Amino acid sequence: MKLYVLITDVVGSSQVADRAELTRKLQASAEQVNQDHADDLYAPLEITRGDEMCAVLSSLSCAYDLLSTLEENLHPTRFRSALVYDELTAGLETRRAGVIDGPAFYRARELMSQLKRSKKTFSLGTDQPEQDEAAEVLVNLLQWRWNEMTDLQRQIVRLYQYEKNQLRVAELLNRSQQQISHSLIATKWELINSSEGAIRHLLELIDRRNASAPSRIKKVVGLSG
């Protein structure tokens, strides 16, 4: 069976002084992801070893929002993530990411090793090179931009994306409407918003193409038989 394997790894975890607090944050983040994205997870996100977490996704469409959930819960702790679409051959009946195995996990770990030697935080491998590269660029840029914001700027942009009203955001954060407006301009929120829309659309496109590939193969086999 072909599914999406996600592996995440904390950046600079060896320098973290409070390991217990890091583990607590990872567990809380995994619980939030599993709650928010339950319908798209074949195997829930879980801590597998040290500061590494993994999950098996049935759909790629949720991937950016899933990573955003992680990013918001772990901030300011940064993490890398490798996402691969390939075969899984063992442990599928357990629905446990730490037990399931197969080529998808081998490829994801290889991508993670490459990430650790680079300055990127996200890598995608679905055998659609052009789309994978475009998605990688968008996700890496967005993750970099969110990390560059102050905590208040992050709050303002996320709330405004949801509320669509500056006065309402100002009320929720006990700030002036002018402060909210200045922050939205400074963060280039419209560019962030359109880029997030683009990555969601691209991931849905990749997902549809992957989902349709087996049916095309079956059709060809049927005709040849």
- Domains and their CATH numbers in the chain: 2-130+203-215 (3.30.70.270)
Give the model confidence (pLDDT) of 13-34 as tens digits.
777 777 788 889 999 999 999 9
- Residue tagged 């709330």 (tokens): 159
pTM: 0.89
For residue 121, what is the DSSP state? S
Q: How far apart are CA 65 and CA 146, in angstroms?
A: 13
Give the model confidence (pLDDT) of 179-224 as tens digits.
999 999 999 999 999 999 999 999 999 999 988 875 433 333 333 3
| 189-224 helix and 151-163 helix, angle to the nearest 10 degrees | 60
Taking 90 as the threshold, does the pLDDT of residue 120 lie above it? yes
Residue of higher predicted confidence among 17 and 38: 38
Residue of higher predicted confidence among 59 and 219: 59
Residue of higher predicted confidence among 54 and 16: 54
Residue closest to 204 by CA, chosen among 64, 28, 79, 8: 64
In contact, 123 and 79? CB cutoff 8 Å = no
pLDDT at 214: 57
Average pLDDT over residues 126-132: 92
- Residue tagged 């999950």 (tokens): 55
Beta-strand relationship, 2-10 and 41-49 = unpaired
- Among 31-35, 62-66, 115-119, which is the least confidently predicted range? 115-119
